[in-house]
Amino acid sequence: MNSGLLFCDLAVAGVRGLSPYQPGKPIEELERELGITGIVKLASNENPLGASPRALEAAAAAMSETHRYPDGSGFLLKQALSAHHQVAPEQITLGNGSNDLLDVLARVFLEPGREAVVSQYAFAIYALSTQAVGAQCVTVPALGPDSDMPYGHDLEAMADAITERTAIVFVANPNNPTGTWLTQAQLERFLDRVPRRVVVVLDEAYTEYARDLACPDGTQWLARYPNLVVTRTFSKAYGLAGLRVGYSLSSPEIADLLNRVRHPFNVNSLALAAAEAALDDCAHIEQSVALNAREMKRLCAAFDAAGLKWLPSAGNFISVEIGNAAAAYQALLRRGVIVRPMAGYGLPSYLRVSVGLAEENSRFLIALDEYLEEAR
């Protein structure tokens, strides 16, 4: 029965104006569409080595208790994170991935009449979470393509954009999808300029991959800047993307507010157990970071040999300028290789490529060479 209602009109204004976040194409979807197998997915910045064996064992052991609710406080994981970061457990908030915490931060600090400042070409969730609660997203132009850090955050311009209506500034370091990063000196100057009434969210989802590039650890500033919130995830270097677990580090006062809003039991039992074990497996992280560095160099060299421009990246992905990126994306799909087109981020000539295993990267480079030859 048609009630005649237009439910879009009943939704709140912030939601009516949203477009859903578009994740990387799943392998199963491409298999259904083209009927091909042996697909390589380099679209979602996942750890190609997978999770730590210790994490998998811990998750398997937790299966026997899935009829019980998880520990809503995440006590054991918080204790492990507290020791890892040398912060009090009261400074930690757990999330269903760090995306969950970005959304919680928006719900706590934003509302109609307030603003969030973000950089152009930054992670799409910042704007989505801001607009969903009816706040205004102020997007600041990024650095130019010829700067030392092409399309990176312009922190001076972002600080200039702060007004009396600004409640949050989102800063990604390293940034997704560009891979660009900020130095310790740049971030310190920025944090000194931001009024203490404005919350600075420093998104460090890819920080494990950036240690050799003078990319600072934001947790060092928590005591000095009580308005700082650092978000981290187990989805990237730790290889737990499918379990969805992240966390934020902040002052106890901010953590208390976040815990008032986050959903009960927002991190499941398997994720809690796996994350605790993964945090303790330093060898797996070292292996993952070393693989990424080695294969990143290989991809950059291949792009140089092909005469393609690419953006410097401190993550486990790289964005390469390919001309007609939409056509290149489709051509690679037909060859069983999934990458990420960047038109949705305002970079229509770029593809973002996750760094995979050596054999996966070889498949991609062969497919890319074939496409470039056809396009000539």
Per-residue pLDDT averaged across 162-174, rounded?
98
30 and 142 both lie in a single domain: no
202 and 304 both lie in a single domain: no
Neighbour tally for 336: CB within 10 Å = 19
Q: Which CATH number characterizes residue 297's domain?
A: 3.90.1150.10
Task: Tell me the C-alpha to C-alpha distance, in Å, between residue 51 and each of 41, 45, 247, 277, 293.
Answer: 16, 14, 18, 10, 18
Q: Which CATH number characterizes residue 148's domain?
A: 3.40.640.10
Which of 226, 182, 172 has the alpha carbon at shortest distance from 203? Answer: 172
Q: For 249, which DSSP code? A: E
Q: pLDDT, tens digit, for every residue of 258-272?
A: 999 999 999 999 999
Quickly state the pLDDT bin for 1 (edges 50, 70, 90).
Answer: very low
Residue 48 falls within a domain, yes or no? Answer: no
Question: What span, in angstroms and rounded, lies between the C-alpha atoms of 78 and 94?
Answer: 8
Residue 4 falls within a domain, yes or no? Answer: no
* Alpha helices per DSSP H over 1-44: 7-10, 13-16, 27-34
Quickly state the pLDDT bin for 21 (edges 50, 70, 90).
Answer: low
Predicted local distance difference test score (pLDDT) of residue 364: 97
Length of the chain: 376
Question: What span, in angstroms and rounded, lies between the C-alpha atoms of 179 and 300?
Answer: 13
Class of residue 283 by CB neighbours under 10 A (exposed 0-12, middle 13-18, buried 19+): exposed
Predicted local distance difference test score (pLDDT) of residue 375: 82
Question: What span, in angstroms and rounded, lies between the C-alpha atoms of 30 and 56?
Answer: 27
Residue 2 falls within a domain, yes or no? Answer: no
83 and 133 both lie in a single domain: yes
Give 26 or 144, the one with higher predicted confidence. 144
Mean pLDDT of the chain: 94
Per-residue pLDDT averaged across 93-119, rounded?
97
Helices (H) and strands (E) in the chain, counts: 14, 12
Give 5 or 27, the one with higher predicted confidence. 27
Are the CB atoms for 342 and 352 separated by under 8 Å? Answer: yes
Residues 6+ apart with CB under 8 A from 280: 54, 80
Query: Does the pLDDT of residue 340 top 80, yes or no?
Result: yes
Query: Does the pLDDT of residue 132 top 50, yes or no?
Result: yes
Residue 25 falls within a domain, yes or no? Answer: yes
Quickly state the pLDDT bin for 4 (edges 50, 70, 90).
Answer: low
Residue 3 falls within a domain, yes or no? Answer: no
Min mean pLDDT across 17-26, 123-132, 150-159, 193-202 is at 17-26
27 and 101 both lie in a single domain: no
Predicted local distance difference test score (pLDDT) of residue 2: 56
pTM exceeding the 0.75 threshold for the entire prediction: yes
Predicted local distance difference test score (pLDDT) of residue 73: 94
Query: Does the pLDDT of residue 169 top 80, yes or no?
Result: yes
29 and 126 both lie in a single domain: no
Q: What are phi and psi of 52, to 5 degrees?
A: -60, 140
Q: pLDDT, tens digit, for every residue of 298-331?
A: 999 999 999 999 999 999 999 999 999 999 999 9
Quickly state the pLDDT bin for 295 (edges 50, 70, 90).
Answer: very high
Question: What span, in angstroms and rounded, lies between the C-alpha atoms of 165 and 27?
Answer: 43
Beta strand 246-249 with 92-95: parallel, antiparallel or unpaired? antiparallel
How many domains does the chain divide into?
2
> Of 281, 307, 332, which residue is a domain's last?
281
Residue 46 falls within a domain, yes or no? Answer: no
> Of 261, 281, 301, which residue is a domain's last?
281
Residue 306 falls within a domain, yes or no? Answer: yes
Domain that holds residue 96: 53-281
Give 356 or 211, the one with higher predicted confidence. 356
Per-residue pLDDT averaged across 7-36, rounded?
74
Task: Tell me the C-alpha to C-alpha distance, in Å, between residue 170 and each of 130, 153, 237, 306.
Answer: 10, 10, 21, 35
DSSP codes, 113-158: T-EEEEETT--HHHHHHHHHTTPEEEEEPPPPTTSSSTT---HHHH
256 and 166 both lie in a single domain: yes
332 and 214 both lie in a single domain: no
Which of 273, 294, 266, 264 has the alpha carbon at shortest distance from 355? Answer: 294
Quickly state the pLDDT bin for 36 (edges 50, 70, 90).
Answer: confident
Per-residue pLDDT averaged across 79-104, rounded?
97
240 and 189 both lie in a single domain: yes
Query: Does the pLDDT of residue 5 top 70, yes or no?
Result: no
> Of 265, 281, 297, which residue is a domain's last?
281
Query: Does the pLDDT of residue 37 top 50, yes or no?
Result: yes
Quickly state the pLDDT bin for 67 (edges 50, 70, 90).
Answer: very high
217 and 89 both lie in a single domain: yes
Predicted local distance difference test score (pLDDT) of residue 212: 78
Q: pLDDT, tens digit, for every residue of 206-259?
A: 999 998 788 899 999 999 999 999 999 999 999 999 999 999 999 999 999 999
141 and 103 both lie in a single domain: yes
198 and 325 both lie in a single domain: no
Task: Tell me the C-alpha to C-alpha distance, in Å, between residue 335 and each of 39, 42, 324.
Answer: 8, 13, 17
Predicted local distance difference test score (pLDDT) of residue 98: 95
Residue 211 falls within a domain, yes or no? Answer: yes
196 and 313 both lie in a single domain: no
